[in-house]
Chains A and B, each alone.
Chain A
Amino acid sequence: MRILVLLKAVPVVGTERLDDALRTDRSVALEANGNDEYVLEAALKLTEAHGGEVTLLSVGPPGAMDPLRKALAMGATRAVHVADEAMRGSCYVGTARVLEAALRRLEYDLVFAGADTSDGQGGVIAPALAARLGLPYLSYASRIEPAPDGRTVTIRRLRPGGYDVLEAPMPALVMGTQVLGEPRYPSLRGIMQARNKEIRTWTLADLGLDARSVGAGAATTRVLRAEPPAQRAGATIIREAPETAVAQVIDLLAARRLI
């Protein structure tokens, strides 16, 4: 089974900032998007159990190399990195174009994507790619089970209060959640092996894409301004014994007509 994992390199959570053009600054240290590590872990477990290989695909700046190396050390087979200065400032439309073009040049039985990204919170790239590539789209997976004959894939799709079981023919695109399970840490051996693993680098020209169809110039959205969030007024601290404290909570809730 050939699984292709879409892995976005995002600024290390907690250090994100905007650049002068009000775009997410990607010149800072990058890490693998948290949700993408969950689907990577699921992909590694599946190929360990059933055989096969895991290819990583990341579209992003040079700093994406670090998280790609880490993912290879976790056990992925190889990586494809699409990097081109002209992509900087792409919106969802531009990013989807590049990922689509790259996916058309790769072979897979399943494509895995994360539920959304820590820097954009879109959750829209995975369904967009499925629609463009004509792949069945299975989202919000908490469990992924390919059939032994490799023809179909079954997932559990989370919804409030439970889950739905979805089934589709392969190849298909599966978007997964944190419930798939914690990602592993790279082992020392994995880190050593990763040094010899292939990272292919593609430019827009390699993908046959016109540089003007992506990047800031082609962006369909833009950030106009940004400000820190409004601060909430400071908290009242209650340190009384439980009975008194509870009475004070009740008073506040009653005064605010919440009970």
Chain B
Amino acid sequence: MANGIWAVGELADGRPTRVTLELATLARTLAEQTGRDAATVLIGAGATDAAAQVAAYGPDVLAVEAAQVMEQPVASVVAPRLAAMVADREPDYLLVAASTDGKDLAGLLLGLLELPILANGSSVAWDGDGPTVEMSTFGGRLVTHSSFTQPRGVLLVRPASVVAQEAATPGRVGSVQVEVSAELPPVRVTDRVDEERGGTPIEEARVIVAGGRGVGGPDGFRQVEELAQALGGAVGATRAAVDAGWVGYAQQIGQTGKVVKPALYIAAGISGAIQHKVGVQTAGTIVAINKDPDAPIAEFADLVVVGDLFEILPRLTEAIRARRGNGQTPA
């Protein structure tokens, strides 16, 4: 597999995440463009069962069973196994999701193998003899294009940077046994606590309704949640709302939160500070509800409703529900 491009997949409850299918698609496209070999590596509990679904996206799947991910942080189990496979088969490039587990994994590989890293990629292209990675930086004021200086490295790719597409011919599935020379120092998961009811993670949501300081408190947030629910979407928030404790950190969008790319983003009581903007500026359609027509969000929204969100949100929720009731479902 010298000359190889590997997509490194992620499993959630034994199922491939959406970004896994995106990375498999990306590995296939890059390999086709450059006459290289592509593979998807799946390491975890249930990897073999999940492999067939991932193989539909093209690259052959190397599935490694690792039940330890139940008791230890995922990256600490995946890293030594992936490092052993990389040392053995010498792929040139690894595509890793820029998720929390993915960044941990890339960092551990940097430690174990001194593998170079291009971080936080929002798209990947091929430029002559290697990949180039586009990254939004400096609070969204600049877009950079970077490359490796030698032909190997890890590319951290953000979710929703590519559209997952099944291949004409599916790849094959192979089970791989990996000998790990040394495990990483032990970290035990002693408990798993669910605080908020499940629902789509905001990185994967097609519709996000987000609230900021303008919603005024937890009660105001309920109106945001109701609209999200009517639209079948997820709830997002600014740092101001998260710091105030109205909603959990997992919901925060922006520089120190998540970068999202929904088809529809509705922002209620959000000023649109640069640190928030960078998390959402590539959304399909952005609708803002704000008392202040001069709020910075007007600079990147498609539609700004000037008014009191407490008057707008309930009516909007009502209107959406009415359409649903009429049998008009989302496209």
Residues of A within 8 A of B (CB): 13-14, 16-18, 22, 34-35, 91-93, 96, 115-116, 118-132, 134-140, 142, 154, 156-169, 172, 177-179, 182, 219-229, 232-233, 235-239, 242-243, 245-250, 252-254, 256-259
| A220 close to B195 (CB less than 8 A) | no
Whole-angstrom CA separation of A157 from B184 in the bound complex: 18
Given contacts A169-B186, A221-B117, contact A235 B107 (CB under 8 A): no
Residues of A within 8 A of B298 (CB): 235, 237
Given contacts A96-B110, A139-B73, contact A221 B330 (CB under 8 A): no
- Kindly state whether residue B160 has any CB partner on chain A within 8 Å: no
| A165 close to B189 (CB less than 8 A) | yes
| Contact among A122, A142, A220, A238 with B303 in the assembled complex (CB-CB below 8 Å) | A238
| Contact among B106, B189, B319 with A247 in the assembled complex (CB-CB below 8 Å) | B319
| A226 close to B117 (CB less than 8 A) | no
Given contacts A17-B138, A122-B119, A220-B150, contact A258 B311 (CB under 8 A): no
- Kindly state whether residue B220 has any CB partner on chain A within 8 Å: no
12 examples of A-B residue contacts, CB within 8 angstroms: A16-B139, A92-B119, A123-B119, A127-B106, A137-B108, A139-B73, A162-B193, A166-B190, A178-B239, A221-B116, A233-B302, A246-B315
Residues of A within 8 A of B300 (CB): 232, 235
Residue from A127, A163, A182 having most chain B Cβ neighbours under 10 A:
A127
Whole-angstrom CA separation of A159 from B248 in the bound complex: 10
Residues of A within 8 A of B149 (CB): 219-222
Residues of B within 8 A of A258 (CB): 207, 263-264, 284-285, 330-331
Whole-angstrom CA separation of A92 from B331 in the bound complex: 44
Whole-angstrom CA separation of A160 from B148 in the bound complex: 32
Residues of B within 8 A of A14 (CB): 139, 274
Residues of A within 8 A of B147 (CB): 221-222, 224
Given contacts A124-B110, A138-B187, A237-B293, contact A161 B196 (CB under 8 A): yes
Given contacts A121-B137, A161-B195, A258-B207, contact A128 B148 (CB under 8 A): no
Tell me the minimal C-beta distance from A183 to chain B in angstroms.
Answer: 12
| B274 close to A124 (CB less than 8 A) | no
Given contacts A123-B103, A165-B189, A166-B190, contact A229 B143 (CB under 8 A): yes
| Contact among B73, B116, B316 with A166 in the assembled complex (CB-CB below 8 Å) | B73
| A225 close to B145 (CB less than 8 A) | yes
Tell me the minimal C-beta distance from B183 to chain A in angstroms.
Answer: 11
Tell me the minimal C-beta distance from A250 to chain B in angstroms.
Answer: 5
Q: Which residue of B lies closest to A127 (CB)?
A: B107
Whole-angstrom CA separation of A243 from B305 in the bound complex: 11
Q: Which residue of A lies closest to B206 (CB)?
A: A258
Interface residues of B in 32-86 (CB under 8 A from A): 73, 75-76, 79
Given contacts A136-B185, A162-B196, A239-B293, contact A118 B255 (CB under 8 A): yes
Whole-angstrom CA separation of A167 from B191 in the bound complex: 10
Residues of A within 8 A of B217 (CB): none
Q: How many residues of B contact A (CB 8 A)?
A: 98
| B320 close to A259 (CB less than 8 A) | yes
Q: Which residue of A lies closest to B110 (CB)?
A: A128
Tell me the minimal C-beta distance from A165 to chain B in angstroms.
Answer: 4
Residues of B within 8 A of A91 (CB): 116
Residues of B within 8 A of A179 (CB): 249
Residues of B within 8 A of A163 (CB): 193, 195
- Kindly state whether residue B218 has any CB partner on chain A within 8 Å: no
- Kindly state whether residue B142 has any CB partner on chain A within 8 Å: yes
| A237 close to B306 (CB less than 8 A) | yes
Whole-angstrom CA separation of A6 from B118 in the bound complex: 21
Q: Which residue of A lies closest to B107 (CB)?
A: A127
| Contact among A126, A221, A256 with B107 in the assembled complex (CB-CB below 8 Å) | A126
- Kindly state whether residue B164 has any CB partner on chain A within 8 Å: no
New A-B pairs, 15, CB < 8 Å, besides A122-B120, A221-B117, A239-B293: A96-B111, A119-B137, A122-B107, A124-B103, A131-B107, A132-B111, A134-B185, A137-B108, A161-B198, A164-B189, A166-B187, A169-B185, A179-B249, A245-B305, A249-B303
Given contacts A17-B138, A259-B320, contact A158 B104 (CB under 8 A): no
Residues of B within 8 A of A137 (CB): 73, 76, 104, 108, 184-185, 187
| A162 close to B192 (CB less than 8 A) | yes
Tell me the minimal C-beta distance from B206 to chain A in angstroms.
Answer: 9
Tell me the minimal C-beta distance from B295 to chain A in angstroms.
Answer: 11
- Kindly state whether residue B287 has any CB partner on chain A within 8 Å: yes
Given contacts A13-B139, A92-B110, A123-B103, contact A167 B281 (CB under 8 A): no
Residues of A within 8 A of B308 (CB): 242
Tell me the minimal C-beta distance from A131 to chain B in angstroms.
Answer: 3
Interface membership of chain B positions 272-292, coded 1 if the CB is closer than 8 angstroms to chain A and 0 otherwise: 001100000100111110000
| A228 close to B141 (CB less than 8 A) | yes
Residues of A within 8 A of B165 (CB): none
